[in-house]
Chain A
Amino acid sequence: DAKTTQPNSMESNEEEPVHLPCNHSTISGTDYIHWYRQLPSQGPEYVIHGLTSNVNNRMASLAIAEDRKSSTLILHRATLRDAAVYYCILRGLGGSNYKLTFGKGTLLTVNP
C-alpha cells in the first residue's frame, strides 16, 4: 500500500481555518485519498475523499495537488468539536480488495 506522511500534531484557534497537510508521493493513478477523524473515545468518522479534483462537503474541503503527490484537508472554521486525530489514507483499487490502512495521523488541538 502507498504510504502517507502527516505532521504528528497541529494547533489552531477557534473560528480560524485549518489546513492539514498530507504527503503521498508514491500514490498511484487509481488511489483514492480518504480523510477520517477520530474524536476522543469514539470510532473514526469519515470526513471526505477524492481522486483527482478538489472536493467540498459540509464538513470540509479537500485540495489535491495537480501531481496528486500531496493533499490538504481544509476545515474552514475550526470549532472545539473539531479537536481530533485526522487520518489521511490512500485506498487502492485492487479488484475487490477494499481496505483502509490507518497511519499515525495528525492530532489537531483547537484553542478557544
Chain B
Amino acid sequence: SAVISQKPSRDICQRGTSLTIQCQVDSQVTMMFWYRQQPGQSLTLIATANQGSEATYESGFVIDKFPISRPNLTFSTLTVSNMSPEDSSIYLCSGRSGTNEKLFFGSGTQLSVL
C-alpha cells in the first residue's frame, strides 16, 4: 500500500493570504486527486492532478482559486489562494497505483481561516 504524507497537517491563516499544501507519496502513483471536506460534511472532489499538465477541475472549482501542480509521479501541491473563512476545511490528497481499484488517502490538512 502506498503511504501519502501531507504537509502541513494543520494551519491557521489570515484572510486574503494563500497556503500551499504538499502531498508526497512513497511510491509512484498513476493518478492523484485533491478533496475538500468541510466541517461535518463528506468529501468533495476538487480536481485530478495530472502529471506535467493542467489539473482537471470539478464543477465549482477553478484554477485561479485552487492552483495545482504535479511535477512527477510522487508529488503534488494544492494552493488555496486569497483565502476566506469559507475555505476553512480539511484538504485531502489521494492517489491510485496503476490500475488498482484502491484509492489511498493522506491524513489531511486542517485549514482554519480567520
Chain A contact residues (Cβ within 8 angstroms of B): what range?
Answer: 20 to 34
> Which residue of B has the minimal Cβ distance to A91?
B101
Q: Is A112 an interface residue (CB 8 A)?
A: no
Q: Looking at the complex, which one of B45, B94, B105 makes contact with A101 (CB distance below 8 Å)?
A: B45
Collect the chain B residues with CB atoms within 8 Å of residue A36's CB.
Answer: 103
Q: Is B48 an interface residue (CB 8 A)?
A: yes
Interface residues of B in 92-107 (CB under 8 A from A): 92, 94, 96, 101-107
Collect the chain A residues with CB atoms within 8 Å of residue B102's CB.
Answer: 46, 49
* A43 and B101 contacting across the interface, CB-CB below 8 Å: no
CB distance from A64 to the nearest CB of B (A): 15
* A44 and B48 contacting across the interface, CB-CB below 8 Å: no
> Which residue of A has the minimal Cβ distance to B96?
A98
Tell me, in angstroms, the Cα distance from A104 to B44 when the chains sit together: 10
* B42 and A45 contacting across the interface, CB-CB below 8 Å: no
CB distance from B50 to the nearest CB of A (A): 11
CB distance from B108 to the nearest CB of A (A): 5
CB distance from A55 to the nearest CB of B (A): 11
Chain B interfacial positions (CB closer than 8 Å to A)? 4, 31, 33, 35, 42-45, 48, 92, 94, 96, 101-108
Chain A interfacial positions (CB closer than 8 Å to B)? 32, 34, 36, 41-46, 49, 87, 91, 98-105
> What are 13 residue pairs bridging A and B, where the CB atoms are less than 8 Å apart in the complex?
A42-B108, A43-B4, A43-B92, A43-B108, A44-B92, A44-B105, A45-B105, A98-B31, A99-B45, A99-B48, A102-B43, A103-B42, A105-B42
